[in-house]
Amino acid sequence: MTELMKLPYAQDALEPAISKETISYHYGKHHRGYVDNLNKLVEGTAYADMKLEDIIREAGQDFPRDGRGTALGTQYCPGNGSPLFVNAAQVYNHNLYWESLRPDEPVGSGMSEAASSYINEYWGSIDRLKSAVTRTATKLFGSGWVWICKHEDNSPFVRATHDAGTPLDDPLVTPLLVIDVWEHAYYLQYKNDRAKYIEQIWPVINWDKLA
Ligand code: FE
């Protein structure tokens, strides 16, 4: 049984970047829907008592893999995902998305020293990281997610996944931060303007997830 995670802030706490109405639908309808679907699918099966991450890995087993063990199907052929995989992955992806955001309080409070030095070490500046995220988000065709992950040697990278795709399939990669770029994440406020959503989201990004 997987529970809908508690939002770590009030539904209006990310305004004006992300409106209360957007969060109310996104968290209250979409995210809750994936949790409910998942719980119906696992009921009475061997998956019922499994941890969310294990369900995702197990349900992704049927996908073709590359030499490093990464399940190609979840990133490149998302239509092949089973209902169990896509609902479990969407629960996980949304959990990390809500944790990847935080209220901008006090305004302009920015990030910790640790996050700042990690970003500077690998990207040179926060602006270069933001450009990489923006490029990845705006180039992704259709629905998906933009991730900042790290390799085993601690080096980070930006990547996208389609639909319910998640980097959890790669045992050598740790997802640190994610931005939901499905239209339901921004349509109520920004209509089809994904670039505008990304441009406005920076003040509420929880950069400390990188620390
Ligand atoms: Fe979403």
Q: What is the pTM of this model?
A: 0.92
Q: Is the pLDDT of residue 79 over 60?
A: no
Segment 139-153 shows an average pLDDT of 95
**How far, in Å, from the CA of 78 to the mean position of ligand 1?**
16
Beta bridge partners of 66: none
Give me ligand 1 centre to Cα 74, in Å: 17
Question: Separation of 7 CA from ligand 1 center, angstroms?
Answer: 14
Domain residues for the domain of 55 are 20-99
117 and 164: one domain? yes
Domain boundary pick from 45, 64, 99: 99
Distance CA(182)–CA(33), nearest Å, equals: 15
User: What CATH number should be reported for the domain holding residue 181?
Assistant: 3.55.40.20
Integer Cα distance of 74 and 144 in angstroms: 11
For residue 15, being part of any structural domain is answered with no
In the chain, pLDDT over 70 holds for what percent of residues?
A: 90
pLDDT number for residue 82: 80
For residue 204, the 8-state DSSP code is: G
Q: How far is the CA of 193 from the centre of ligand 1 (A)?
A: 16
More confident residue, 32 or 77: 32
What local confidence, expressed as pLDDT, does residue 73 receive?
A: 52
Note whether 195 and 162 are same-domain residues: yes
Measure 23 CA to ligand 1 centroid, in angstroms: 10
Specify which residues 180 forms β-bridges with.
145
Q: Per-residue pLDDT for 93 more than 90?
A: yes
Neighbours of 184 (CB within 10 A): 14
Q: How many CA atoms lie within 13 A of 101 on its CB side?
A: 27
> Given a cut of 80, is residue 98 above it in pLDDT?
yes
CA 124–ligand 1 middle distance (angstroms): 30
